[in-house]
Structure 1
Amino acid sequence: MFFPLSKLIFFVITPSNFLILLGLFGCLLLFTEFGRNIGRVLAITGFLGLLVAGLGPLSAWVLMPLENRFPAFVDDGQPVAGIIVLGGAVEADTSIGRDQITVNDAGEREIALGDLARRYPQARLVFSGGSGTMREHAISEAEIVSRFADTLGVPRNRLILEQQSRNTRENAVFSSRMTQPKPEERWLLVTSAWHMPRAMGCFREAGFSVTAYPVDYRTSGPRDAYRLATFASDGLSEFDIGVKEWIGLIAYKLAGYTKAWMPAP
């Protein structure tokens, strides 16, 4: 129930969707006798919201606290027993349709998989990613990664595929069940920097001690807090990601999937 409900709620409260719906509703009210004034306010609010969120630095303000929460990984020489890469970057339908692996803006996760597989040849490699759609028999991200492992430079026989998870909590629970990690082992968790706090919280709640390996940064540093976006589409996309992630942190804490509102190192 949580999965389909979360999809519906996130569609409505995604900022760009919400602002468009708000503006559209306001425009409809302009054609009514009783709602003309409120319609004008809603239409203007929706338009200005899209303008400010798309071209202003709001996305950086929302994303930077998330991305800066866990520091970049520094190899200190301690052995790495395993590496877990979370799904969310592979476009499964397009990959199948075009017969080549296709990734979205979070493609650094797959780049890190290939790089870490080379750097730690003895480590166990786990790719955790089912299907994010509600269609039955949809192909999983893990299956796509397995099919195109050679493209990524990853030996297929090293891959441990977790194909059932649909969200971050299930990534953690199912990966833990599959790997049965030992307390003294170091496992690296690879996911987007803005997603790392929620992911770490879920893995801790699942009893799986992991070390953060953040990738896919959307901000370059403090200067972004004062920089205007070149394209409104880029600003809106990143603002959507940041706001949804903050909402996800709140929802996961209320659902008991994490112990902290904002997991920390």
Structure 2
Amino acid sequence: MTDAAPRPTGRKMFFPLSKLIFFVITPSNFLILIGLLGCLLLFTEVGRNLGRALALAGFLGLLIAGLGPLSAWVLLPLENRFPVFADDGAPVTGIVVLGGAVEADTSMSRDQITVNDAGEREIALADLARRYPQARLVFSGGSGAMREHPISEAEIVSRFADSLGVPRNRLILEQQSRNTRENAVFSARMTQPKPGERWLLVTSAWHMPRAMGCFREAGFPVTAYPVDYRTSGPRDATRLTTFASDGLSEFDIGVKEWIGLIAYKLAGYTKTWLPAP
């Protein structure tokens, strides 16, 4: 099934702006930009001293964030906020899996489902579909592309459901959402959850606090089912990273998620700064 509800016009302006803002404030991008600015200022008389400081700050920032344990420091509080799901035998009415893992364009070009580092979300979808054969399955994921008529993640999951071992006729596809708040609002609108029902929410552990806050605000009580952990535990807080690219990628994810939590609280999308169980 699909949701053909029209998108609010205000989203057309907000979405590109949010993309631009997140590009600039992504830590690795920001450090590169200030380092580049510093290098340019080195060729001027007035800004030479400032240029040295910025170039040094950019280089050291990339070095520390890439090889140091900073990524674990920002991710651990997020990933440990909600515990791993423990099946207590209570019936499960439905399962909501959030998008963010499917590479839609690559999947279409290569004619197979392609996922990124958050692919555990799709693995959990297949596993939970098998474990709870009577549960309703909701996949909530539109498209992050800014072009007209992009293909949604939900459409890709539907097309390649056989690869996941998930029957297509069990899938409820929510294809309009472009952020976590809309995941919650549109999923609640489609499923109309009733009091006493148990719904599992599947998303990355570092994203779970913001997602839970949004679903609660949307009046959709869910039980956290965190996946896609990026840290192995507290010991990571004292470990160096082997590859700078890995450290920067995880640091970017963590910082952007904390910024997202602040922005969602200020916008009224969540009731608390860091939702808890």
Name the TM-score, length of structure 2 as normaliser. 0.95
Residue equivalent to 1:207 = 219
Q: Supply the distance in 2 between the matched residues of 1:104 and 1:167 (Cα, whole angstroms).
A: 17
Residue equivalent to 1:231 = 243
Q: Deviations over 1:141-190 (max 9, x none)?
A: 00000000000010000000000000000000000000000011000000
Runs ≥4 in structure 1, deviation > 3 angstroms?
none
**Post-superposition shift, 1:5?**
2.0
Q: Supply the distance in 2 between the matched residues of 1:82 and 1:3 (Cα, whole angstroms).
A: 30
**Post-superposition shift, 1:7?**
1.1
Which of 111, 120, 129 is matched with 1:99 structurally? 111
Residue equivalent to 2:159 = 147
Q: Secondary structure at the match of 1:24?
A: helix
Alignment of 1:235-250 (within 5 A): 235-250=247-262
Q: Supply the distance in 1 between the matched residues of 2:268 and 2:144 (Cα, whole angstroms).
A: 21
Alignment of 1:175-190 (within 5 A): 175-190=187-202
Alignment of 1:1-265 (within 5 A): 1-265=13-277
**Post-superposition shift, 1:134?**
1.2
Name the TM-score, length of structure 1 as normaliser. 0.99
Q: Supply the distance in 2 between the matched residues of 1:180 and 1:113 (Cα, whole angstroms).
A: 20
Residue equivalent to 2:10 = none
Q: Supply the distance in 2 between the matched residues of 1:238 and 1:245 (Cα, whole angstroms).
A: 11
What is the Cα-based RMSD across aligned positions, in Å?
A: 0.5
**Post-superposition shift, 1:4?**
2.1
Q: Deviations over 1:67-110 (max 9, x none)?
A: 00000000000000000000000000000000000000000000
What is the identity, as a one-letter code, of the residue corresponding to 1:108? E
In structure 2, stretches of 5+ residues that fail to align are: 1-12
Q: Deviations over 1:25-64 (max 9, x none)?
A: 0000000010000000000000000000000000000000
- Count matched residues: 265
